[in-house]
């Protein structure tokens, strides 16, 4: 706008001083529409017309600049809205992903700790799984666990009852060592009382030498997760 005003002023001056016309020619060319308006005003109405044209030109120039500024602000606003919409969608996606991850994690913690025949010690795979469970329990202090020890039907009831108790205790000790409070761990021993194996079916026997872990949320009924 300053350049347009300057050029218009130069044209107004050169109307009375021809010697300045050559020096002002470059600025006049650069003034564009504003200069043309002043010249037209001077031809139509002399000095008064020229002054009116000059004022009108300044107003038009300012309006053009205001319109450009408004367009720029509108574009910036639209861009901001689009960015905000994108961020909202990303946040929704992130929340959904977190919820899905929590569900998947909980499903993965539906554990069965398996044992070899006559044994009640944990192998490295069991220890790693229980370590993961302990981290989950530490992050969710409202949850508790129930441990149900089992044995296959071979041997006496007394032997199987003790063995299933030892197996459940082995899992409990691993959780206690990982920092889980004793009050959050509930233990049961079933021996071979729940067996459904057919005599001599050793593959089924292998599935019954286990400790089932149930993750319990006191606010839910029944438990939120259960291993079988």
| All structural domains of the chain | 2-80 (no CATH), 111-226 (3.30.1330.60)
Average pLDDT for runs of 10 along the chain of length 228: 43 44 45 46 52 55 68 77 71 53 49 93 93 94 96 95 98 97 96 88 92 88 42
In terms of phi and psi (left: phi > 0; alpha: psi -120 to 50; beta: otherwise), the region of 122 is beta
**pLDDT number for residue 56:** 57
Instruction: Collapse the DSSP code of 224 into the 3-class scheme (helix H, G, I; strand E, B; otherwise coil) and give the result.
Output: coil
CA dist 181 and 1 (Å) reads: 76
CA dist 130 and 212 (Å) reads: 12
Cut 0.75: pTM above it: no
How far is residue 66 from each of residues 2, 27, 71, 158, 193, measured CA to CA in Å? Answer: 14, 23, 9, 94, 87
- 184 DSSP 8-state letter: G
* Cα distance from N-terminal residue to C-terminal residue, the chain: 81
Instruction: Judge if the upstream peptide bond of residue 227 is cis by omega within 30 degrees of 0.
Output: no
**pLDDT number for residue 50:** 53
CA dist 85 and 89 (Å) reads: 6
Residue in 56, 52, 30 with CA at minimum distance from that of residue 43:
52
- 198 DSSP 8-state letter: P
Q: Write out the two tokens for 71.
A: 């367009």
């Amino acid at each position: 706008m300053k350049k347009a005003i300057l050029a218009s002023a130069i044209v107004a001056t050169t109307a009375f001083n021809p010697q300045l016309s050559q020096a002002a020619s470059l600025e006049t060319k650069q003034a564009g529409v504003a200069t043309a308006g002043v010249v037209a005003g001077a031809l139509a109405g002399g000095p008064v017309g020229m002054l009116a044209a000059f004022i009108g030109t300044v107003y038009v120039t300012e309006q053009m600049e205001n319109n450009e500024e408004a367009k720029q602000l509108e574009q910036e606003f639209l861009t901001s809205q689009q960015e905000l919409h994108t961020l909202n969608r990303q946040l929704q996606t992130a929340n959904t992903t977190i919820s899905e991850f929590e569900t998947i994690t909980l499903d993965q913690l539906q554990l069965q700790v398996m044992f070899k025949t006559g044994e009640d010690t944990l192998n490295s795979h069991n220890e790693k799984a229980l370590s993961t469970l302990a981290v989950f329990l530490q992050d969710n202090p409202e949850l508790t666990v129930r441990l149900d020890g089992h044995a296959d039907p071979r041997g006496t009831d007394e032997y199987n009852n003790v063995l299933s108790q030892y197996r459940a205790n082995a899992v409990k000790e691993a959780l206690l060592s990982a920092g889980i409070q004793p009050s959050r761990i509930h233990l049961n021993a079933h021996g071979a009382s729940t067996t459904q194996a057919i005599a001599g079916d050793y593959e089924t026997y292998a599935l019954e030498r286990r400790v089932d872990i149930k993750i319990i949320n006191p606010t839910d009924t029944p438990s939120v997760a259960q291993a079988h």
